[in-house]
Amino acid sequence: MISSRFRHFALVALAGNIAVAVAVVALYHYVAVENFEEIRSEQNIELARSLSNTIIDDVADLRAIAATKSWAELQASPEIARFADSMERELDQLQVYALNIFDPTGLVLYSTERQRIGAKVLMNEGVELAAAGEEVSAIVRRDTFNRFDRVIEDRDMIESYLPLMGESGEVIGVFEIHSDIAVFFERLRTTQRTVVVGVGVALLLLYSLLLVWFWRSDHHLFAGHAPVRSSRRRGHELETVSRAKSEFVATISHEIRTPLNAVLGMTDLLNLTNLTQKQREYIQTIQSSGDMLISLIDNLLDFSRLESGDLELHKSEFDVMDLLERVLHIMGHSASAKSLELVGDIQHDLDLRVSADKRRLQQILINIVSNAVKFTETGEVVVEVNATEETNDFLRLRFTVSDTGPGIDEQTREGLFAAFASGSRPASSQKYGSGLGLTISKRLLDNMGGSIEIRERDQGGTEVAIEVPVSRVSSTSLGDLAASPDERLQRVFSMFSSHAQQKSICRLLAHWNIPCERTPDIEEGLHRLRVAASSRKPFSCAIIDSALTPEDHLLVVRRIRTSPETAHLPIILLTSISRPLGVGEVSALGHLSCVNKPVLPLDLRFNLLQSVRDQVSQDLWDADVPVDHTDVGDL
């Protein structure tokens, strides 16, 4: 009999395997095709340069001949015939499909297609750009429109246009070369089919092994219906299965992690290159799919260790702010993709440093925040940090994760900590994950001496609170974070669409002893900024949430800049991490810094400090005084 747990696991594992297969094939396609096109374009340009260097002296002669002859006379000219014979010998050993030489007006001085000599090309973008001094190149695929020659091509090729420069530096002609790359694309298609088949077979084998392992563990450890002749034999079989399961999970975890880490490492490197928006979306899909599968592997491995009692806690010293920032950073893309506000709110000392198992505490928080993001369609997810029951050396850290989702009824809450449970919330039929996240979190907290509580919020949504005992460490590696970033930050004004976000930012500013005035109303905010700028107590900086105007994230900033009183006011704009603004449109507004949401305290602190530096530098520049940054403060 197949249990519901087995069916659920089979679906989750299948989805994970399909996601990884798509990610690997997409990554291969990018590396093999997109990078090839860039490299092949550079090679074709180099070939064009090499060939053009040998005929640069002949171009002036060709232009002189073309100026005195008609189209028919030019094609029959013996000088053109001799030049053509010379070029054909040059091209004999090269994979060149076609070659043309133009004068700057587009007149064909030479072509491997003899009937084109003497003709004039019109509206050829490649010739026009090369005549203006640019080098251009493009891949043209079979049966696609060639934007340079304005025809449908019947082959795969790469074409490049190169300006021919005279001795005085002027453009005296244009060199066009077409190279045939059909053989490469055929070889690429063959290799890609092989890769797809290979990845498919490997993942199918992995999927089969996972199903066999889970079926055996589910059958022997959870169902409890297999008849046995004696309790001794049953105990021996369970021990054997449990040991085999642990060994299998550890082995398969290592084997899967190795290629997955390579895939995710490659995506990190690709993110450092120049990518189009579509390519960046592909990379983010690969990363999220890989992270999902690694999370599934981690959960299975941890559950196996917890079942066998082999999981150990490893204490280390860390800053609570660093832990919170790490969780916000990891979950930021998931929240932003659903247009959710993810907010971190520290209600205790910013420089709190403790000793505990940071890795396991981070794992618990990510499991809880991930659930909140998955089940919340609109609104926000807030992570609050506090400390209770303090003594000289010990305290209890309390993390509260609240969301604006549909909430969880009492009956569902009772079964959430059971293994492989994946409850649905009201108004949502979706189920996510392996059903192990909360189970593992609960058992980890039990091992750490902590607790977890889930309740429905009065105003809607769910609140998950965890407490864990930790040892307090007196020193801090982050410096005195409670101190103001700079004494010049006398007053800060803020406008937010999210009440939780506003409360969190203002609490941070209060920790830094910076007075903060705020309003959610744009018109009121603009008025107060202008009034303050005209008084003797102007604001030092404004923090603006781009979500105030979803259709145009820079609208409020532009309106601030149009007023003479606030034209040079330093502004920090909070922007979505998945929809960044262009560098050009940001720099054009001046005195503007962008901080991605979720807002990390150290990022905000740095940008506040930088806004002071920039304003001081501008004031000194306007006063024609040498700039000295030594008194502006340091992070």
pLDDT, mean of residues 471-494: 67
Percent of the residues in the chain that have a pLDDT greater than 90, as a whole number: 5
Please provide the average confidence, as pLDDT, over all residues in the chain.
76
**pLDDT over 60 (residue 478):** no
**Please, which pLDDT band fits residue 466 given cuts at 50, 70 and 90?**
very high
Residue 231 or residue 273, greater confidence: 273
Placement of tokens 């406008």 in the chain: 495
Do 467 and 446 contact (CB within 8 A), yes or no?
no
151 φψ region: left (φ > 0), alpha (ψ -120 to 50), beta (else): beta
Q: Quote the pLDDT of residue 415.
A: 61
- Best-predicted range by mean pLDDT (16-20, 403-407, 581-585): 403-407
**pLDDT over 90 (residue 113):** no
The angle formed by the CA atoms of residues 171, 175 and 179, to the nearest 5 degrees, is: 155
Q: Do the bridges between strand 171-180 and strand 96-102 make them parallel or antiparallel, or are there none, so unpaired?
A: antiparallel
Diameter over CA atoms, the chain: 109
SS (H, E, C) 229-247: CCHHHHHHHHHHHHHHHHH
pLDDT, mean of residues 309-331: 84
d(CA 104, CA 81): 22
Residue 372 or residue 220, greater confidence: 372
Q: Quote the pLDDT of residue 632.
A: 37
Q: Quote the pLDDT of residue 49.
A: 79
- Best-predicted range by mean pLDDT (97-111, 254-268, 479-493): 97-111
What are the pLDDT digits (tens) for 163-207?
888 877 788 888 888 887 777 777 777 777 777 777 777 777 777
The DSSP line for 502-527 is HHHHHHHHHHTT--EEE-S-HHHHHH
- In three-state secondary structure terms, 492 is strand
User: Picking from 1-10, 112-121, 437-446, 617-626, which range would have the lowest pLDDT averaged per residue?
Assistant: 617-626
Q: Quote the pLDDT of residue 385.
A: 92
pLDDT, mean of residues 385-394: 79
Q: Quote the pLDDT of residue 360.
A: 86
What sign results for the dihedral spanned by CA atoms 551, 544, 368, 407? negative
Element (H, E) at 295: helix 277-308
Do 502 and 518 contact (CB within 8 A), yes or no?
yes
**Closest among 295, 422, 373, 372 to 19, alpha carbons compared:** 295
Do 410 and 437 contact (CB within 8 A), yes or no?
no
**Please, which pLDDT band fits residue 583 given cuts at 50, 70 and 90?**
low
- Within 13 Å and on the Cβ side, how many CA atoms surround 200? 6
**pLDDT over 80 (residue 491):** yes
CB atoms within 10 A of CB 628: 10
Q: Quote the pLDDT of residue 238.
A: 62
153 CB burial (10 A radius; 0-12, 13-18, 19+): middle
List 492's β-bridge partners, or say none.
Answer: 516, 541
Residue type, 262: A
How many residues are listed for the chain in this entry?
635
For residue 623, give both structure tokens: 């006063």
For residue 214, give both structure tokens: 């889970």
SS (H, E, C) 587-609: HCCCCEEEEEECCCHHHHHHHHH
pLDDT, mean of residues 425-451: 67
d(CA 346, CA 510): 11
**Please, which pLDDT band fits residue 145 given cuts at 50, 70 and 90?**
low
Residue type, 201: V
**pLDDT over 80 (residue 573):** yes
- In three-state secondary structure terms, 402 is strand
**pLDDT over 50 (residue 334):** yes
Q: Quote the pLDDT of residue 425.
A: 44
Q: Quote the pLDDT of residue 617.
A: 52
Q: Quote the pLDDT of residue 629.
A: 42
Buried-state track 191-207, b at ≥16 Cβ within 10 A, e below 16: eeeeeeeebeeebeebb
What are the pLDDT digits (tens) for 209-239?
767 776 766 665 444 444 444 555 666 666 6
For residue 508, give both structure tokens: 């941070």
Q: Quote the pLDDT of residue 237.
A: 63
User: Picking from 66-70, 218-222, 551-555, which range would have the lowest pLDDT averaged per residue?
Assistant: 218-222
Element (H, E) at 528: helix 522-534
d(CA 91, CA 382): 67
What are the pLDDT digits (tens) for 295-319?
667 766 676 666 666 667 888 899 9
Q: Where are the alpha helices (DSSP H) in 400-550?
A: 410-414, 437-448, 499-511, 522-534
DSSP label at residue 623: T
Placement of tokens 């059971």 in the chain: 418
d(CA 116, CA 99): 11
Q: Going from the N-terminus, what domains does the chain have, and what CATH number goes with each?
A: 31-184 (3.30.450.20), 316-473 (3.30.565.10), 492-631 (3.40.50.2300)
CB atoms within 10 A of CB 114: 12
**pLDDT over 60 (residue 433):** no
**Closest among 452, 432, 449 to 441, alpha carbons compared:** 452
SS (H, E, C) 63-93: HHHHHHCCHHHHHHCHHHHHHHHHHHHHHCC
